[in-house]
A and B are shown apart, each in its own frame.
Chain A
Amino acid sequence: MDKPQNNRAWFMVLPVLLLVAFSAIIPLMTVVNYAFNDTFGNNAFFWVGVEWFKETLESDRMWGALQRQLIFSFTILAIEVPLGIAVALAMPKKGVWASVCLVLFALPLLIPWNVVGTIWQVFARIDIGLLGYSLGLIGIDFNLGQNASAAWVSVIMMDVWHWTSLVVLLAYAGLQSIPDAYYQAAKIDQASRWAVFRYVELPKLKGVLLIAVLLRFMDSFMIYTEPFVVTGGGPGSATTFLSIDLVKMALGQFDLGPAAAFSIMYFLVILLVSWAFYTIMVNLDREEERNE
């Protein structure tokens, strides 16, 4: 059979290929190159194999950053998801106030990240900041620069302030899609408020919550700008998360080799955890269906 084949069609793909190459593949490969070589400038590279990976994996510094990162991510998830659902439930369902609420909740999402950092930096200052100064008045020393727990509280509060809105908006959209008849039937069945949430609302929210958790996890795992502006990773390395540590290593100390190895592992960890999250959630879903 004669099938017309025109290889010129491949030229159509070329622009996209070029774009992806320059925006993703080439930079990534450069990082890979740095991760397996040592360099003393002048574009002279010496093959070192997995040396940098070994060094990074053996350093307490990286494990400390990873641990803080995990604590941070899980803390903000544990706060933002329930809080977001609660706020979405409390929001008016329709009318002018629903729109007002939506706009108000969307606002934090529109503020540039370093501005968010600056807002909270100023807010927490003990000399002029509303929070730091007020706490000082009632005898609590809220000094970001010296007090590690103050730094943690600030960073977590900031993230909750900045990102709970995302969960609120997603959960609100999910709640809006539940037909009225479900609430009416629950009323007829004399279901308690908790039962309505547990058996009507939560099952319908599962899909959007999965997305919310995934997005918030990936995003918080890569967080850099806001804690960098508020605490700069300090005091000491108390709030030095993975990306802050990485930048310190790559640009502060100019240890390009270890930093490159670090970034590759960082990337793989995010990929792995997100994949694991997704697979677990989807499998739970299937499991349930199989039991039916």
Chain B
Amino acid sequence: MARIELKDLAHSYLPKPGGEDDFALKTIDLDWDDGGAYALLGASGCGKSTLLNIISGLLEPTRGQILFDGADMTHAPTTARNIAQVFQFPVVYDTMTVRDNLAFPLRNRGMQASYIKDRVQQIAQMIGMDSQLSRKARGLTADEKQKISLGRGMVREDVNAILFDEPLTVIDPHMKWELRTQLKQLHREFGHTMIYVTHDQTEALTFADKVVVMHDGRVVQLGTPEELFERPEHTFVGYFIGSPGMNLLDAKIDGNMATIGSHQIPLGAGYKSPEGHTQIGIRPEFVTFTTDASGLPVQVTQVEDVGRHRIVRVGFEGNTLCAVLPEGTPLPEGTQHIAFMPEQIGVFANDWRVTPQTGGAS
């Protein structure tokens, strides 16, 4: 097990990258603590898999360094890094039995037969395949195959880290939940560093202690699920996390007031007038309907009942905003006024969160 550091890392798939647009991974500085359960979250094509393959050594970065416990591993081959990786689509050795598939990584490392036998049995039980150990892997269904891939990833006890590249894509929803729980349990039991790539926020937030959000080849935020929810550092984190995502409105910021057109919205803190494209962001959970005429006048357009709460979509001067109403509150209709909880409003300039200068409006 090891602490993994990425220093000034960048990668381009082009042989001679020119400008920043040529890079799939723009500069990344990141530390993965030993024994952490991390999720790497981001939309498709943001560079998650590239980053994973660089850590496991399947790709060599164009620039920068990878350190394992302080030792430079940037150019070390995969085998020297002692890393396990599970891929998005099942990779099994068709002609081998389930047992041989699970034993393969151990045999290749010359482990003792008795140890391999016990360990394979243990892993097979965990992934629920112990009754099928003697079957050929070829005739299995996609999710059984993926379970074998997961098992092969976890069968080695001494790995520096286990990397998962959207491993549950092909698994059915019920099994997904079960496997994720098992992964978490395994993490608690053995304390491996785990990095779990996904574009599904539920998966990321339930699996990980810390979530790394990537956007357009950059890491935009590393934080606990609560931090991502409460204090998104970037507008992307704001609307990617949460369902529905954060409401964003273009606004002029002055002190502790935001101005949208002819409307004034009090903020929870004072800001020096930030430069660039300024926005305010508010989670739908902190939007309330009010009878106070100083609120933003909106038109209710749609109500979705999602069980525990209702999502109300409203139109405001061409923007669509969302509000989450708890069960039991009366449903608003027609023209209404909404208010934002001042201390929950975030201010963003050019998509990045702005730190307030002073305390809230009195």
Contact = CB atoms under 8 A, between A and B. Distances in A.
Contacts of A203: 93-95
Given A184-B87, A188-B84, A199 B95 contact: yes
A188 B85 contact: yes
Contacts of B93: 199-200, 203
Interface string B82-122: 01110111010111100000001100110000000000000
A199 B105 CA distance: 13
A184 B138 contact: no
Given A199-B95, A288-B136, A191 B85 contact: no
Where chain A touches its partner, the secondary structure class is: helix
A185 B149 contact: yes
A190 interface: yes
A190 B105 contact: yes
Contact of A288 (B56, B78, B105, B138): B138
Give the most central of A184, A187, A289: most B CB within 10 Å.
A184
A154 to B, nearest CB: 39
A179 B89 CA distance: 10
B192 to A, nearest CB: 14
B58 interface: yes
Interface string A186-197: 011111100100
Interface residues of A, number: 19
24 contacts: A179-B89, A181-B91, A182-B91, A184-B91, A185-B149, A187-B77, A188-B58, A188-B153, A189-B105, A189-B108, A190-B79, A190-B109, A191-B108, A195-B108, A199-B96, A199-B104, A203-B93, A203-B94, A203-B95, A288-B95, A288-B136, A288-B138, A289-B139, A292-B138
A184 B105 CA distance: 13
A185 B85 contact: yes
Given A187-B58, A199-B93, A288-B136, 9 more contacts: A181-B87, A184-B87, A184-B91, A188-B153, A189-B105, A190-B79, A191-B104, A192-B108, A199-B104
B199 interface: no
Interface of B: 53, 56, 58, 77-79, 83-85, 87-89, 91, 93-96, 104-105, 108-109, 135-136, 138-140, 149, 152-153
Contacts of A191: 104, 108
B85 A184 contact: yes
Contact of A185 (B87, B95, B109, B139): B87
Give the most central of A189, A200, A289, A291: most B CB within 10 Å.
A189
A255 B69 CA distance: 86
Contacts of A200: 93
Where chain B touches its partner, the secondary structure class is: mixed
A185 B56 CA distance: 11
B138 A289 contact: yes
Interface in A181-220: 181-182, 184-185, 187-192, 195, 199-200, 203
A292 B135 contact: yes
Interface in A141-190: 179, 181-182, 184-185, 187-190
A192 B139 CA distance: 25
Nearest to A206: B95
A184 B85 CA distance: 9
Contacts of B87: 181, 184-185
A188 B108 CA distance: 11
Closest 6 CB pairs of A and B: A292-B139, A292-B136, A185-B91, A189-B105, A190-B108, A199-B93
A96 to B, nearest CB: 14
B118 to A, nearest CB: 19
Contacts of B109: 190
B56 A188 contact: yes
A189 B93 CA distance: 11
Contacts of B79: 187, 190
Nearest to B91: A185
B136 A189 contact: no
Interface string A252-292: 00000000000000000000000000000000000011011
Contacts of A192: 108
A191 B93 CA distance: 11
Interface string A203-245: 1000000000000000000000000000000000000000000
Nearest to B136: A292
Contacts of A195: 104, 108
Nearest to B108: A190
A292 B135 CA distance: 5
Contacts of A184: 53, 58, 85, 87, 91
Contacts of B105: 188-190
B58 to A, nearest CB: 5
A13 to B, nearest CB: 42
A259 to B, nearest CB: 47
A187 B94 contact: no
Nearest to B90: A181
A181 B58 CA distance: 10
A210 B95 CA distance: 17
A256 to B, nearest CB: 52
Contacts of B139: 289, 292
Contacts of B96: 199
Contacts of A185: 85, 87, 91, 149, 152
B98 to A, nearest CB: 10
Give the most central of B77, B78, B83: most A CB within 10 Å.
B78
B304 to A, nearest CB: 38
Nearest to B140: A292
B103 to A, nearest CB: 10
Contact of B83 (A181, A188, A288, A292): A188
A99 B252 CA distance: 60
Contacts of B91: 181-182, 184-185
A203 B84 CA distance: 24
Contacts of A189: 104-105, 108, 152
